[in-house]
Chains A and B, each alone.
Chain A
Amino acid sequence: MSMTTATTDEVAEEPPAPAAPSDQRERDRMRRRLARRRGGGWWPYLFLAPWFVGLFGLTIYPMLDSLYLSFTDFDLLTPARWVGLDNYTRMFADDPVFWDSVHATLVYVLVSVPLKLALALGVAMLLNRDLKGIGLYRAAFYLPSLLGGAVAVAIVWRQVFGGDGLFNDFLAWFGIKGQDWISSPDSALYTLVLLAVWQFGTPMVIFLAGLKQLPKDVYEAAALDGARPVTRFFRITLPLLTPIVFFNVVLQIIDAFKTFTPAFVISNGSGGPLDSTMLYSLYLYKKGFTDLQMGYASALAWVLFLVIAGFTAVNFVASRYWVHYDD
């Protein structure tokens, strides 16, 4: 109904289209008027309506609700009961498992992200040349990051690093006797780190696209000046690539904080052995949905949100000092 009125409005305002748009100036004027029209009245809001509902209904309101719940005792079935800061004091002062999960998560993030990005950049550099079969290599390296989130892959991983798994067969070639890497609290987390590193394909593809855009003349000049490959890498490639390094660092850190599936599958949902694979998301899930302590889990969620926001903010601030923007 309202749509038809709007259309008639526009038609009414619009001068009749010139029968013969031969006059260039007339056409230009028309174009300018149309450009002003890009404001489009309420059209953009109509197109954005679903997104607005999602933004407010499924993001902003839930964030606020979660903040409120974090100050309550809430088990979903009975109304939330205000407990002030109890959840937060309990978390920081009185919950050793919380600290176990913080520890596991920080190790996981700080080890897996640099390794993954270094491998991604290294392989992208290898691929950034005229080689036969580039497409094939790129595809092979990308495949794991497409599959990596699947439960099935985590199941396979559990067997690869089990006592009689593939990894120990490999070590046996070198005469090393392995152990059950999954059930040892010292190594279980590192099997998850390896699983993350195995998925270096996504940042690699992004690096590769970035490498292809680097200005060629700089390299030609450097090559003519006899700059060695190492020099070229540190003096030209890396500085020019910093915006993409930055992009990848931000995204991979956020991704690593969110990791849930492999920790759940490898530990059978327990986060064990000895909480060594209790990644933060897994702990949050257990508190919220296994123990139905949804107030406490909301507090955990807010802490996660603040930590990720903090990491991202630090990244953005630090980027002023190391990211090189051309324009």
Chain B
Amino acid sequence: MSALTPNASPLARLRSLTGSRRILVHTLLVGVAVVMLYPLLWMLSSSLKPDTDIFTHPGLIPGRVRPENYSEGWSGSGNSFSLYIVNSLIVTIGAVIGNVVSCSLAAYAFARFEFRGKRIWFGLMLGTLMLPTQAVLIPQYTIFYNLTWINTYLPLIVPKFLAVDAFFIFLMVQFIRSVPRELDQAAMVDGANPWSIYWRIILPLMRPALITTTIFTFIWTYDDFLHQLVYLQQNDRFTVPLGLTLFLDQTSGSSYGAMFAMSTLALLPTLICFLVFQKRLVEGMATSGMKG
């Protein structure tokens, strides 16, 4: 954003507000932010309160602190919560590697080559962006069932190696298009083949897009309840979201403190990602909306 100069243009004057209006806008924004974040703060505070206080003392600062909520919740579903975390990590790390590899390969092809039917393939790729996963859930399930992959993590990981998340292909195509072609051409003059151009030039330059892909894949896979629910049936294979619902079933949702404690823990990985990569996440989402 350009700095305001002393003799500001009409537009700059328009955008910079006078004192009282500035306060009004800030008040409005703070109000919205408080409403938005309050449920999360309430969750955190409730996770530290004794069950009896949660609904009778709704304030954010716990009167009595009960850290046992966390230890009770940790083993509250019959399995240790660490098991769910490890399982979720297996799924998410597999998915991240799959997406980074397969989507970058496809994106490089779409961004840098001319080939027969390219427009049609590209159109199909964008079309799959709009395809609801539910439409293919049952036949995909029968495929994985016939492969005897039910109750394994393969149905959650292998599709990522086949670039089914078109969103990331699209994101990377946009990014590669912004890399000057002269770099490829210079390398080609030096005798590099397309693979080494991909590997030595495009991939290193694509780091920002790869990081964005990594974070979003991590968060979305971690939260992908539907597919985990469908494919994982034995509770020692359960991931964090499934562990949470199991915990709810077994306590019939009545040990509130422990439930809030586990919900807080379940959101922690996403929160950490958000705090560390906040800017990149927002920008990644913003550029996806722009026409290429």
Question: Residues on A close to B: CB < 8 A?
Answer: 3, 6-7, 10-11, 14, 17, 30-31, 34-35, 37-40, 43-45, 47-51, 53-55, 57-59, 61-63, 65-66, 69, 76, 123, 126-131, 133, 135, 137-144, 146-147, 149-153, 155-160, 164-166, 169, 198, 202, 205-206, 208-210, 213, 216, 219-220, 223-224, 243-244, 247-248, 250, 254, 257-258, 260-261, 264-265, 268, 280-281, 284-285, 288-289, 294, 297-298, 301-302, 304-305, 308-309, 312
B82 at the interface (CB under 8 A from A): no
For B104-129 the 0/1 string (1 means CB < 8 A from A) is 01101110111100100100110010
Contact B58 A166 (CB under 8 A): yes
B86 at the interface (CB under 8 A from A): no
B contacts with A: majority SS: helix
A76 with B142: in contact, given A144-B36, A301-B135 (CB under 8 Å)?
A: yes
Chain A neighbourhood of B28, CB < 8 A: 126
Chain B residue with Cβ nearest A134:
B1
Chain A neighbourhood of B125, CB < 8 A: 51, 55
Contact A289 B230 (CB under 8 A): yes
Chain A neighbourhood of B110, CB < 8 A: 48
B71 at the interface (CB under 8 A from A): no
Contact B162 A137 (CB under 8 A): no
Interface magnitude class on chain B: 35 or more
Distance of A248 Cα from B285 Cα, bound (Å): 12
B62 at the interface (CB under 8 A from A): no
Distance of A62 Cα from B101 Cα, bound (Å): 24
Chain A neighbourhood of B142, CB < 8 A: 65, 76, 294
A160 with B39: in contact, given A65-B142, A66-B135, A129-B17 (CB under 8 Å)?
A: yes
Distance of A298 Cα from B142 Cα, bound (Å): 12
Contact A45 B220 (CB under 8 A): no
Which residues of chain B in 3-37 are interfacial with respect to chain A, using CB atoms and an 8 Å cutoff? 4, 9-17, 22, 25-26, 28-29, 32-33, 36-37
CB distance from A292 to the nearest CB of B (A): 11
Question: Residues on B close to A: CB < 8 A?
Answer: 1, 4, 9-17, 22, 25-26, 28-29, 32-33, 36-40, 42-43, 46, 55, 58, 101-102, 105-106, 108-110, 112-115, 118, 121, 124-125, 128, 130-143, 145, 159, 161-164, 169, 185, 188-191, 193-195, 198, 219-220, 223-226, 229-230, 241, 244-245, 248, 253, 256, 259-260, 262-264, 266-267, 270-271, 274, 278-279, 281-282, 285-291
A51's partner among B58, B169, B267 (CB-CB below 8 A) is B169
Q: B4, B28, B125, B189: which has the most chain A beta carbons within 10 Å?
A: B189
Chain B residue with Cβ nearest A288:
B138
A149 with B220: in contact, given A164-B55, A166-B58, A205-B285 (CB under 8 Å)?
A: yes
CB distance from B206 to the nearest CB of A (A): 14
Name 8 A/B residue pairs within 8 A (Cβ), A-sorted.
Answer: A17-B189, A58-B136, A149-B220, A156-B39, A205-B289, A219-B10, A258-B132, A285-B226
